Amino acid sequence: MHLAYPSAIEQYEGLKHSDDVTDALHLANVLRLGILLECYIYPEEERSARNLLRKHLQPVYQRTA
């Protein structure tokens, strides 16, 4: 099973319509070509450390924006 990163996948521009079948075929082709960008789900043990780091870096990002 693969967890695709939806905002990084560009939809094929030549599609006339979009439904589950055409979307599945498009994702299968992207996976077959090896260019499917996938997400990673952190294990529960590591989520708290990741969230703490995000909160710690948030003022840094705001200051530099």
Whether residue 1 is contained in a domain is answered as no
Report pLDDT for 23.
84
Report pLDDT for 33.
93
In this structure, are residues 2 and 24 in contact, taking their beta carbons and an 8 Å threshold? no
**How deeply is 6 buried, as exposed, middle or buried, from its count of CB atoms within 10 A (0-12, 13-18, 19+)?**
exposed
Token pair of 23, please?
């979307």
Residue closest to 23 by CA, chosen among 1, 40, 6, 38: 6
The total of structural domains in the chain comes to 1
Report pLDDT for 19.
85
pLDDT digits (tens, 9 = 90+) for 2-51: 888 888 877 777 767 778 888 888 889 989 999 988 888 889 998 999 89
Q: In Å, how far are 35, 37, 53 from 8, measured between CA atoms?
A: 11, 7, 24
Q: What pTM value is reported for the model?
A: 0.57
Report pLDDT for 32.
95
Domain that holds residue 44: 6-64
Helix (H) or strand (E) holding 27: helix 20-33
